[in-house]
Copies of this chain bind each other. A is one copy, B any other.
Amino acid sequence: MDFSSKLLENAVNEVSRLPGIGKRTALRLVLHLLKQPSENTKFLTEALSGLRENVNSCEKCHNISDTVICAICSNPNRNASLVCVVEDIRDVMAIESTAQFRGLYHVLGGKISPIEGIGPQNLQIESLVHKVKEGEIKELIFALSSTMEGDTTNFYIYKQIESYDVITSTIARGISVGDELEYADEVTLGRSIVNRIPFEQSIKS
């Protein structure tokens, strides 16, 4: 693209470095900001720098939090001995929105991925193993995505804690509620048959 302004070119280049945003989209977004009052750009840039400079993570679960201990970890009504292992804050938000889980979380900050150069030392695994060793956790629920990286991470953590007195489980995989069986993939459908549950249990939940 041939820009008539270095300032514009620079702004478009920076915006297009964001994931999933190409040069055309970046130009559209930047021109939108130019048509808006300059306060809007100020609010946007201040919100971004404010977050980046002052972001904190909870000392216990490593989730993004403005306080030293996050609202979930410091809630006395939640079951601190039941911990759900997730990849990032989006998973926490997704599970919280179901209102079905009353335990705590442990946010790993990613998955083990040799291709992206992410090893166990880059994730919050040591502190999780430490919690298990100290006997703080009775049950650990693995809720990572069921990809090769997710399975590897689950297995790596499991190997480190299997000798301790802790129950481990993974979230159920199966056909989505409301989905047609004929459109489900074979792996998911197969798992949902192998891991079938008693009918009496299904009508209660």
Contact = CB atoms under 8 A, between A and B. Distances in A.
Interface in A27-44: 27-34, 38, 40-44
Grouping DSSP codes into helix (H, G, I), strand (E, B) and loop, the A interface class, with mixed when no group exceeds half, is: helix
Given A8-B51, A11-B47, A42-B49, A90 B19 contact: no
Interface stretch (A60-68, A151-159, A161-169, A194-202): A60-68
A88 interface: yes
A32 B18 contact: yes
Contacts of A189: none
A6 interface: yes
A10 interface: yes
Q: How many copies of this protein are present in the complex?
A: 2
Interface in A112-155: none
B49 A7 contact: no
A25 B1 CA distance: 25
A72 B4 contact: yes
A192 interface: no
Given A7-B54, A43-B14, A48 B27 contact: no
Interface of A: 1-8, 10-11, 13-15, 17-21, 25, 27-34, 38, 40-56, 58, 63-66, 70-72, 88-90, 92-93, 96-97
